[in-house]
Structure 1
Amino acid sequence: MGAPRVIKLLVISDIICPWCYIGQREMERAVEMCRDLPIDVEIEYRPYRIYPSLKDGQFMEKRPWYEERFGKDKTQEMERVALQRADELGLNIKYMDGIITQTTLAHRMLLKAWQLGGQASQQAFLTVLFKGYFENLANIGDTEVLADMAVDAKLMTKEEAVSFLESTECLDEVERMMNEARKKGVNGVPFVVIDGKWAVSGGQTAEVYAQILKKLANSEPTTPRPTHAAPPAASVPLKA
């Protein structure tokens, strides 16, 4: 038997997006469902700002901000749908509680986590981020809070984390990655790029991801033909 096929998933996401938290859990379930297949799944998270108008260092109460932006009725419906899906996955998220803030600092630390320890370190820190923001209502735009999270994820000491966050390290790379995503047509997250060729958008279930992984495990790598449209749950070729 040959070496397992490596399947690379690039997940473009933002920490303040509940569907990205839900998507992380669904992807974990999918990988577990496929653990007996002859594949190794490598997952790397890339940055995105779902609300680019938010300024770094700007903090606002979440529910009033959403209601002003989307209206009360739509905000309530957004919350209902997300909470129902999260509850099915055992995630105790508080969607409209706490504050909303820009995520540049957190994305820089996520990229640093990848540089320091690859998938394992990045996933560990991302899990702490999501849980802190959606369950513990942490201010993930605050340097001290993020530094404590880095310690919790065993990424670095608090002093090292504060020093990193107060620098500009990884800032240019994060900005470049976000610009590249938008240039490729990404206008919502989560957005998952598979082996640099295929993409799946939206809050898909573990079953959808597992189906794709199973197909890839049983097929030779191919170059997809261009397509003009596809249903939301289907994988589609990624435009250059």
Structure 2
Amino acid sequence: MSETTSLTIDVVSDVVCPWCFLGQKRLEQAIEAVKDVDVTVRWRPFQLDPTIPAEGKDRKAYMQAKFGDGDRLKQIHANLVSLGAAEGISFDFDAIKVAPNTLDAHRVIRWAGPVGEAVQNRLVTGLFGAYFERGENTGDHQVLIAAAREAGMDASVVETLLPTDADVEAVRTEIATAARMGITGVPCFLIEERYAVMGAQDTETIADAIRQVAAAKARGELDKAG
């Protein structure tokens, strides 16, 4: 492609999903590798467990209930630590004390969207780091307000809106829409709202998908398919 093609990628993700953190890093690298495609990234909500109460749960007990007391969880964490190191992520699972409900985090991510793509990306990156590298409770409003401020949002607006029901139903509707589309696991990279790359694929796989869809769009094939 000699001319720049523009694509939109909607990333369906949850901020307590370690694979989504890996996927975010690999997506960044994939976009960097595909210089002739102008990619716009939008973050979409998903909740791995919407039944967690607003105050969260003790993470150790929560994970033991899911994975048992054996070595399975240790092996999963060790694998993620290794994979994360390769992507510049310092996973610290021992630091995480609370398994949070992520609805409020998704509300803040939604509010970051109109502020700008770069701000929303910084917020998502900040929330991943806060939870997985520093063990912060990303269901806590003060943690969310601080992350919003660091990302470049107006923290006073976030502080005002969080205690209300603003966009609660909008976020839940988006999550329900993802389920109707057949998205049952995350991350899911939805390119041009029609081509899905499922899971934290390696950087080259994501980059290749971007190239293929961009080439098809440049040939006008997406318009024909639509």
Same-fold status (TM-score > 0.5):
yes
Give the Cα separation in 2 of the matches to 1:65 and 1:84: 23
Tell me how far 1:110 sits from its aligned partner: 0.1
Identity %: 26
Tell me how far 1:95 sits from its aligned partner: 2.9
Alignment match, 2:67:
70
Alignment match, 1:21:
21
Q: Aligned in 2, Cα 1:31/1:108: closer, same or farther, shift over 3 Å?
A: same
1:44 partner letter:
R
User: The residue matched to 1:15 in structure 2 has which SS?
Assistant: coil
Map 1:40-189; keep pairs closer than 5 Å. 40-60=38-58, 62-71=59-68, 72-98=70-96, 99-117=98-116, 119-157=117-155, 159-189=156-186
Alignment match, 1:31:
31
Tell me how far 1:216 sits from its aligned partner: 2.8
Give the Cα separation in 2 of the matches to 1:172 and 1:2: 43
The CA RMSD measured in Å over matched residues stands at 2.0
User: The residue matched to 2:62 in structure 1 has which SS?
Assistant: helix
Richer in helix (by share)? 2
Give the Cα separation in 1 of the matches to 2:95 and 2:67: 16
Alignment match, 2:207:
210
Deviations 1:143-192 (A, max 9, x none): 111111111111113x3221011122221210100001111111110011
2:105 partner letter:
A
Q: Aligned in 2, Cα 1:57/1:223: closer, same or farther, shift over 3 Å?
A: same
Tell me how far 1:68 sits from its aligned partner: 1.7
State whether residues 97 and 137 of structure 1, in contact with CA within 8 Å, keep that contact through their aligned partners in structure 2: yes
Map 1:210-229; keep pairs closer than 5 Å. 210-219=207-216, 220-222=219-221
Structure 2 gap segments, 5+ residues each: none
Give the Cα separation in 2 of the matches to 1:184 and 1:202: 15
Q: Which deviates more, 144-153 or 1-10?
A: 1-10
How many residue pairs get matched?
A: 220
User: The residue matched to 1:218 in structure 2 has which SS?
Assistant: helix
Give the Cα separation in 2 of the matches to 1:50 and 1:138: 18
Give the Cα separation in 1 of the matches to 2:133 and 2:220: 40
State whether residues 93 and 135 of structure 2, in contact with CA within 8 Å, keep that contact through their aligned partners in structure 1: no
Structure 1 gap segments, 5+ residues each: 225-240
Give the Cα separation in 1 of the matches to 2:164 and 2:51: 23
Give the Cα separation in 2 of the matches to 1:73 and 1:222: 49
2:197 partner letter:
V
State whether residues 63 and 97 of structure 1, in contact with CA within 8 Å, keep that contact through their aligned partners in structure 2: no
TM-score (norm 1): 0.85
User: The residue matched to 1:49 in structure 2 has which SS?
Assistant: coil
Tell me how far 1:103 sits from its aligned partner: 0.3
User: The residue matched to 1:68 in structure 2 has which SS?
Assistant: helix
Higher relative CO (Cα under 8 Å, sequence separation at least 6) belongs to 2
2:34 partner letter:
C
Tell me how far 1:96 sits from its aligned partner: 4.7
Give the Cα separation in 2 of the matches to 1:30 and 1:128: 20
User: The residue matched to 1:204 in structure 2 has which SS?
Assistant: coil
